[in-house]
């Protein structure tokens, strides 16, 4: 299945903007920005981690996930795809 269709995303694809590093910066929500790095946060809700993608050094996107196993697999997959746009990554086929 395409990553954007994976049922492990609680709020779907695209994610919610995390927060711009600059108050004047408007985070793109169209998926056209480039993934720089990714990390897993386990502090939000037990059993429902958030994966944060840092894009272009300007802002983040936060994905709320259904479980930690999916979160760990997603971080591994996304880390291999740094440098692609968020939209491109969402179109990639996954098997986890």
Domain spans, the chain: 3-91
What confidence score (pLDDT) does residue 78 get?
Answer: 92
Domain 3-91 classification at class level: alpha beta
CA–CA distance, 64 with 67 (Å, rounded to integer): 9
CB 15 within 8 A of CB 42: no
CB 50 within 8 A of CB 65: yes
DSSP 83: T
| Rounded average pLDDT over 60-74 | 87
**What would the pLDDT profile of 45-54 be if each residue is shown by its tens digit?**
666 777 877 7
**What would the pLDDT profile of 1-47 be if each residue is shown by its tens digit?**
999 999 999 888 876 555 545 555 555 556 667 888 887 877 666 66
- Taking the CA atoms of the chain, what radius of gyration do you get in angstroms? 12
């Amino acid at each position: 299945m395409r990553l954007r269709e994976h049922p492990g995303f609680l709020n779907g694809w695209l994610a919610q903007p995390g927060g711009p590093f600059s108050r004047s910066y408007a985070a793109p929500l169209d998926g056209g920005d480039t993934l720089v790095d990714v990390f897993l946060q386990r502090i939000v809700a037990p059993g429902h981690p958030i994966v944060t993608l840092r894009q272009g050094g300007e802002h983040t996107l936060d994905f709320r996930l259904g479980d930690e196993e999916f979160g760990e697999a997603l971080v591994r997959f996304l880390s291999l795809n740094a440098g692609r746009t968020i939209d491109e990554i969402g179109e990639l086929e996954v098997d986890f």
